[in-house]
Amino acid sequence: MAAVSCSGSTMNDYEEALPELFAPSGCDAELIGWSLPAGPRLTVVGKIGFELHEGPLKTLLPAVDLCRADRFDTKTGLFAAASDLAPLVPSAEILVLARAYGPPGPVAVRLHVARKGATLLDKRVSIAAGASACLGPVAPSSPSRLGRLKGLTPAALEAPPLGLPAGFDFAYFRAAPDDQQLGALKGDEEITLEGLHPTLPRLSFKLPGCVLIARLLQPKGRPLKMTPLLPDRLLLDLERGWGALTYRAGIAIDWATLLGHSVELGLAQGDTTVAFPDKKDPATSRGHSRRRAAALAPAAQAPSPAAPTEADPALPFPSSARPVVPAPHPVARREPTDLSDETVDIASLRAGRPVAPPAPLPVAPPAPLPVAPPAPLPVAPPAPLPVAPVSPPPVSASSPPQHGFDDGPLFATMAVDSGQLTELPIPFAEALEAGEREGPATRRGLPFDLGAAAPPPALDDAQASERSTLDVPTVTDAALALTTFPWQIDPPRTCSSSS
């Protein structure tokens, strides 16, 4: 059985293909791209640390590092630390780095793990005082681990990207002895240690109960997947007085196609809401993302040697008195903020129930751009039409007006020769036959009958007497006067009586 090659990509190509990774303060993280014959996988690993003391552990360490490779003690040659970067660990395990403390002679050492009063693990050994408690990790070259590789070598599993054959036994990545492995950890177990603390014969505490959530984001920031990380390794270092929990989750996705994507690791303690990191804060970058940023940062310039004290002729001041440019202030660190509105049910995660993916973030429609009303087009006023002067018609001086009103400059009298009236065209002249222009009112060829002219109404004596007293202007046969009366234009004027 041989390890599967992942397209022969180099380490640089491998890390360039992985998504960006971010985690909150106090949590270290890393991404592992690997594959099986069934398809590629992406594993998210996170780690938190805490101080060991009696009672509930509520305070997390501000910084903790993942163990990215197996380490041996340079002095003793013993296996000291197991790598946290395993693609999958099939069960949880507990590692204890401690010595046996007690009176000279054998010391009864105990490791007890319980959850809500139910015992999950209870290991008792007798160790000579001052000796290693033998509760630490097992080296990958030990028979119990090496036999699980079935022909593979540990070196074949060290160079990423990792390609594993079908039927690979993932129990190889468990570093604890078999009697320190248990089905699962929740992160809130009660731990009791006896004979392992330098000053306390018995130390009991409860794990901080932290939950880690990983969400995969598309390049535009929309969540694509969200999955909880489960704790699968508890490390207790009693010599240094601290402990750590390693969390892990696998995503069945082709990690080589996630260019531009990002993974955010959220953290919650107790029943609080999961807080995701602020990607704009460079302090939240983790793993390969931090290494990539460090590689892209310009190298710090080495300080120049001390300049001579004599004056530089090209400078207005001695070279030793050159102004010193202060170093830039460090970027202010911001606390992690929740970038989404979703909340995570911590109780559901601890009960092992699946977590539903987050609902798509609401996207508000863009506000309409203000559009200024178009400016009115300039319209030139129309040019005045040319008006030809009209000459007044000739006024006949021999024909005085017959209207009986006072003449004024507001009107004029035009004389028309009566002889010219006979030459004017008569309406419907073409419908009249010869001899009928002066005949009766009936006309043939017209669309209506003119009928006979009605006689004027008879007047009685009173009407005739009143009418005879009126002064009515007369138009004679000699000339037809066309007159405009002043009362048609201005208020009526006082009429002059005619003789």
What's the chain look like in SS3?
Answer: CCCCCCCCCCHHHHHHHCCEEECCCCEEEEEEEEEECCEEEEEEEEEEEEECCCEECCCECCCCCCCCCCEECCCCCCEEECCCCCCCCCCEEEEEECECCCCCCEEEEEEEEEECCEEEEEEEEEEECCCECCCCCCCCCCHHHHCCCCCCCHHHHCCCCEECCCCCCHHHHCCCCHHHEECCCCCCCEEEEECCCCCCCEEEEECCCEEEEEEEECCCCCEEEEEEEEEEEEEEECCCCEEEEEEEEEECCCHHHCCCCEEEEEEEECCCCCECCCCCCHHHECCHHHHHHHHHCCCCCCCCCCCCCCECCCCCCEHHHCCCCCCCCCCCCCCCCCCCCCCCCHHHHHCCCCCCCCCCCCCCCCCCCCCCCCCCCCCCCCCCCCCCCCCCCCCCCCCCCCCCCCCCCCCCCEEEEHHHHHHCCCCCHHHCCCCCCCCCCCCCCCCCCCCCCCCCCCCCHHHHHHHHCCCCCCCCCCEEEECCCHHHCCCCCCCCCCC
Which of 251-255, 352-356, 436-440 has maximum average pLDDT? 251-255
Q: Which pLDDT score, from 0 to 100, does residue 289 have?
A: 73
Give the rounded percent of residues in the chain with a pLDDT score beyond 90: 49
pLDDT of residue 386: 62
Q: What distance in Å separates the CA atoms of residue 251 and residue 91, rounded to the nearest whole number?
A: 17
| Torsions phi, psi for 118 (to 5 deg) | -95, 130
CA distance 319 to 307: 6
Q: Global pTM? A: 0.61
* Mean local confidence (pLDDT), 360-364: 50
pLDDT confidence of residue 137: 96
pLDDT at 148 over 90: yes
When mean pLDDT is compared across 1-15, 83-97, 277-291, 465-479, the lowest value belongs to 465-479
Which has the higher per-residue pLDDT, 183 or 389?
A: 183
- Tokens 């970067």 locate to 85
Please give the Cα distance from 184 to 189 (Å, whole number). 11
pLDDT higher than 80, residue 273: yes
Q: Which two tokens mark 485?
A: 């009366």
Q: What are phi and psi of 242, to 5 degrees?
A: -145, 165
Tens digits of per-residue pLDDT, 461-485? 666 555 555 454 544 444 444 455 5
Most confident region among 100-104, 358-362, 411-415, 470-474 by mean pLDDT: 100-104
Over residues 172-197, mean pLDDT: 96
Mean pLDDT over the full length of the chain: 74
Instruction: Kindly report, residue by residue over 197-209, the tens digit of the pLDDT.
Output: 999 999 999 999 9
CB 300 within 8 A of CB 42: no
Please give the share of the chain, as a percent, with pLDDT higher than 70: 57
* Predicted pLDDT of residue 216: 95
Q: How many CA atoms, within 13 angstroms, populate the side-chain half-sphere of residue 298? A: 3
Largest alpha-carbon pair distance within the chain? Answer: 168
Task: Give Cα separations from 182 to 34, 84, 89 (angstroms).
Answer: 26, 18, 12
Do the strands 71-72 and 202-206 form a parallel or antiparallel pair, or are they unpaired?
Answer: unpaired
